[in-house]
Amino acid sequence: MDLRVHTVAVDSDAPLLSHLPDAGGVVWLRQGEGFVGWGEAARIDAGTGPERFSRAAEAWADLLESVTVMDDVGIAGTGPVAFGSFAFDDRSHGSVLVVPEVVVGRREGVTFLTRASATDDLHDTPPAPAIVAEGPAPRGDRVRYAGSSVPDVLWLAAVAAAVDRLEAGELEKVVLARDHAVWSKEPFDARDLAWRLAERFPSCFTFSVDGLVGATPELLIRRLGKRFESLVLAGSARRGADDVEDTALGEELLGSDKDRREHDLAARSVYDVLGPLCDDLAFPGVPELLRLDNVQHLASRFVGTLHRADDLTALDLAARLHPTAAVGGTPTSDAVELIRELEGMDRGRYTGPVGWVDRTGDGEWGIALRCAQLAGARARLFAGAGIVVGSLPEDELEETRLKLRAMQGAFGEELS
Q: Are 405 and 415 in contact (CB under 8 A)?
A: yes
What's the closest the beta carbon of residue 162 comes to other proteins, in angstroms? 10
Q: Candidates 149-157, 191-199, 270-278, 364-372 — which segment interacts with other proteins by CB under 8 A?
A: 149-157
Q: Does 273 bind other proteins (CB under 8 A)?
A: no
CA–CA separation, 214 vs 373, rounded Å? 9
Candidates 161, 278, 345, 389: give the one binding other proteins (CB under 8 A): 161
Q: Does 160 bind other proteins (CB under 8 A)?
A: yes
Q: Which residues contact 303 (CB under 8 A, 6 or more apart)?
A: 227, 228, 229
CA–CA separation, 306 vs 223, rounded Å? 9
What's the closest the beta carbon of residue 383 comes to other proteins, in angstroms? 10
Q: Does 151 bind other proteins (CB under 8 A)?
A: yes
CA–CA separation, 340 vs 344, rounded Å? 7
Q: Are 157 and 342 in contact (CB under 8 A)?
A: no
Q: Does 230 bind other proteins (CB under 8 A)?
A: no
Other Cβ atoms less than 10 A from the Cβ of 159: the count is: 25
Q: Which is nearer to other proteins, 181 or 277 (CB)?
A: 181
Candidates 7, 114, 148, 216: give the one binding other proteins (CB under 8 A): 148
Q: Candidates 62-70, 125-133, 145-153, 351-359 — which segment interacts with other proteins by CB under 8 A?
A: 145-153
Other Cβ atoms less than 10 A from the Cβ of 11: the count is: 6
Q: Which of residues 387-416 bind other proteins (CB under 8 A)?
A: 392-394, 397-398, 400-401
Q: Which of 74, 97, 84 is nearest to 6 (CA)?
A: 74
Candidates 14, 67, 128, 157: give the one binding other proteins (CB under 8 A): 157
Composition of the chain by helix, strand, coil, percent to 5: 30, 30, 40
Q: Candidates 36-44, 106-114, 155-163, 219-227 — which segment interacts with other proteins by CB under 8 A?
A: 155-163
Catalytic residues, by residue number, are 173, 218
Radius of gyration for the chain, computed over Cα atoms and rounded to the nearest angstrom: 21
Q: Does 18 bind other proteins (CB under 8 A)?
A: no
Kindly report the CA angle at 319 between 314 and 322, in degrees rounded to 5? 120
Binding residues with other proteins: total (CB under 8 A): 18
What's the closest the beta carbon of residue 298 comes to other proteins, in angstroms? 23
Backbone angles phi, psi at 239, to 5 degrees: -85, 150
Q: Candidates 79-87, 128-136, 148-156, 205-213 — which segment interacts with other proteins by CB under 8 A?
A: 148-156
Question: How far, rounded to the nearest angstrom, does the alpha carbon of residue 217 sit from its chain's CA centroid?
Answer: 8
CA–CA separation, 166 vs 164, rounded Å? 5
Q: Does 334 bind other proteins (CB under 8 A)?
A: no
Q: Does 156 bind other proteins (CB under 8 A)?
A: yes
Q: Candidates 90-98, 109-117, 147-155, 360-368 — which segment interacts with other proteins by CB under 8 A?
A: 147-155
Candidates 50, 147, 276, 376: give the one binding other proteins (CB under 8 A): 147
- Residues contributing to the site for other proteins (CB under 8 A): 147-148, 151-154, 156-157, 159-161, 392-394, 397-398, 400-401
